[in-house]
Chains A and B, each alone.
Chain A
């Protein structure tokens, strides 16, 4: 069972378009992270959201944590080719007496010039 469902799995858009990527779960997370991964490299952290309803902005990227801390979204305004990459969400939750970080399968974004 996949704890974190990401959608869409693939997204191909034109430069200048807006897009939203979703990360959903039935579990409650203490925090949620978003990473971006470029081909041949490891993931790099973009943002961490901790409080239900929290909104964080990073230039053209807007991240939101759901009120119930079960879901999150990433919105990109006026996408650019440099935004191309694999976007991963990762949620922290307590399970079996210890805290663990679980990753979604990722959304592969391609922004065409």
Chain B
């Protein structure tokens, strides 16, 4: 099993550009989430999904969209990138409830100029 995969590994955007961060898992996990990690801020939840077709906002959802059309995939869309979105983004999945073990992907380091 590949676990949780994320692409790309690194990305540089200009202010105003849009892009999609890809996340896929092959563990048949119902719960998937997106976090951003900034120095001194820890991991902050952006959006999460409890199953295909169901998504909800986390702590810092502004500027990001998500959809969950399949169990395996959970892409994160930046509609109009801003320098404040410069961060490392992690996708995670877990079996069942939110408090179960989170399996994290390797992360995407995004820089917005």
**Residues of A bordering B, CB below 8 Å:** 9, 30-31, 33, 35, 40-45, 48, 88, 90, 92, 98-101, 103-106
Could you mark each residue 36-67 of chain B with 1 if its beta carbon is under 8 Å from any beta carbon of chain A, else 0?
Answer: 00001111110000000000000000000000
Closest approach, in angstroms, between the C-beta of B24 and any C-beta of chain A?
14
Instruction: Among A33, A99, A105, point to the contact of B40 (Cβ < 8 A).
Output: A105
Contact B99 A101 (CB under 8 A): yes
- With A31-B99, A42-B92 known, 8 other A-B pairs at CB within 8 A are A40-B107, A42-B90, A42-B104, A42-B105, A90-B102, A99-B97, A101-B102, A103-B43
Contact A41 B102 (CB under 8 A): no
Closest approach, in angstroms, between the C-beta of B105 and any C-beta of chain A?
6
Contact A106 B42 (CB under 8 A): yes
In the complex where A99-B97, A99-B99 touch, is A40 in contact with B106 (Cβ < 8 A)? yes
Contact A33 B42 (CB under 8 A): no
Contact B106 A42 (CB under 8 A): yes
What size tier do the contact residues of chain B reach?
10 to 19
Output the residue of A30, A33, A48, A103 with the most chain B CB within 10 A: A103
Instruction: Among A41, A43, A92, A105, point to the contact of B99 (Cβ < 8 A).
Output: A92
Within 8 A of A (CB), among B67-113: 90, 92, 97-99, 101-102, 104-107
Contact A88 B97 (CB under 8 A): no
Give CA–CA (A41, B105) in the complex, Å: 8
Closest approach, in angstroms, between the C-beta of B103 and any C-beta of chain A?
8
By a CB distance below 8 angstroms, the chain B residues around A35 are: 102
By a CB distance below 8 angstroms, the chain B residues around A98 are: 98
Output the residue of A43, A45, A99 with the most chain B CB within 10 A: A43
Output the residue of B40, B43, B98, B106 with the most chain A CB within 10 A: B43
Contact B102 A43 (CB under 8 A): yes
Give CA–CA (A48, B94) in the complex, Å: 14
